[in-house]
Structure 1
Amino acid sequence: MTNFYSFHGTVTAINDFFTGQNGEGCTKMYTLQNEMGAIVNFVVSPTTFFVDHEIVRVGDQVTGYYNGDLPAILIYPPQYPAIVMVKENPQQNVKVDYFNNQLLSSDGDLKLNLSPNTRIRLTNGQPFSLYPGNRDLIVLYTITTRSIPAQTTPQRIIVLC
């Protein structure tokens, strides 16, 4: 179970991040700034999952998700290894979280109702054949109920194995 934290903002810079290993150019540093002026740097590696494999450019609105339980280096602006990056799409909501065996998010805010039309995939695009409960998930959905917790029938679920 990953304790996902997120930061939403506008991409202000994308630069190469040098790791000192063979494979230079494979890791990038994305700098995001939110509406309050706060800045976060995300280290984006080849293992970072981009929802819908979107190309992110300077000026795009994105949300970066990282493991909030990992130690972070004490620098300003803060720097986190990105697990998932989501480019803003007004027609789609995204929740990255751990969902229990009842498909309730760890914060208790979202309950999933699966339908035969819900596509459940792995990060490599292949079908996931087991029950998605008790896993870290990327959930893509459009509408929710106004109940507590909100409920939705997701369009897609991506399982983070």
Structure 2
Amino acid sequence: MNYQAFAGTVTAINDFSIGQYNEIGCYKLYSVDNGYGNVVNFVVAPTTYFVNQEVVSVGDQVIGFYDANAPAPLIFPPQFNALIMYKNAPGQFLKVDHFDGQLVSSDHMLQLNLSPSTKIILQNGQPFTGNLGNRNLIVVYGATTRSIPAQTTPYQIVVLCS
């Protein structure tokens, strides 16, 4: 999967109807404005993963992640299926990427150093006990070194199993 992000302020949240069953309330359309005149509409499904199960409201600063390789309608503003939503928290950063066997991100910009206090879980909140290498991960972290790749000891890692 090719995770791409779009960050900004939620300007609207509306019900979104899909298919013939018209399941009003199950799907939402989040409009996100980055403050520079760019807007993206995210289709938020019941399967969209919200980091820390945060509830998002109009006015919140968020980062939405979508699969850049997935088909998308050619409309304006762009509309993507939200895979992951993150409500910004002070002093915290987020990276969603594939990490290799040495826990270096695919863009070689972040390396993870684990500690006993790093919370490692699955999307359902249960502990993950396998090897983190060569997996897609959601990483919540704070301070980093100034090296390349930057190194950090994450607060939390969510393993994205296929």
Report the TM range for the smaller structure's normalisation.
over 0.9
1:83-102, aligned counterparts within 5 Å? Answer: 83-102=83-102
Unpaired runs of at least 5, structure 1: none
For each residue in 1:7-35, what CA deviation from the matched residue of structure 2 results, as whole angstroms up to 9, or x when unmatched? Answer: 00110100011013263311100000112
What secondary structure, in the 3-state scheme, does the structure 1 residue paired with 2:31 have?
Answer: strand
Structure 2 runs not aligned, ≥5 long: none
Identity, in percent, stands at 59
The one-letter amino acid of 1:19's match is I
Q: State the partner residue of 2:30.
A: 30
For residues 33-89 of structure 1, the C-alpha deviation after alignment (integer angstroms, 9 at most, x for no partner) is 112110100000011011111111111110100011112110000000001001111
Partner of 1:139: 139
Specify the code of the residue in structure 2 equivalent to 1:4.
Answer: Y
Distance 1:114 1:132 in 2: 10
User: How many residues in Structure 1 have an aligned counterpart in Structure 2?
Assistant: 160
CA RMSD of aligned residues (A): 1.0
Counterpart AA for 1:93: F
Which amino acid in 2 is paired with 1:3? N
Q: Alignment partner of 2:52: what SS? A: helix
Extract structure 1 runs of 4+ deviating beyond 4 A.
Answer: none
What amino acid is aligned across from residue 11 of structure 1 in structure 2?
V
After TM superposition, give the deviation of residue 91 of structure 1 in Å. Answer: 2.2
Contact 1:27 1:46 in 2 (8 A): yes
Q: Does 1:117 align with 2:117?
A: yes
Measure the CA separation in 2 of the matches of 1:130 and 1:38: 40
Secondary structure of residue in 2 paired with 1:127: coil
Q: Check if 1:4 corresponds to 2:22.
A: no
Query: Normalising by structure 2, what TM-score?
Result: 0.95
> Does the 8 Å CA contact 2:141/2:153 hold for their aligned counterparts?
yes
In structure 1, the residue matched to 2:76 is 76
Letter in 2 for 1:62: V
- Asked whether the equivalents of residues 17 and 23 of structure 2 are also in contact (C-alpha less than 8 Å), the reply is no
> What does residue range 55-66 of structure 1 map to in structure 2 within 5 Å?
55-66=55-66
Pairs within 5 Å for 1:31-46: 31-46=31-46
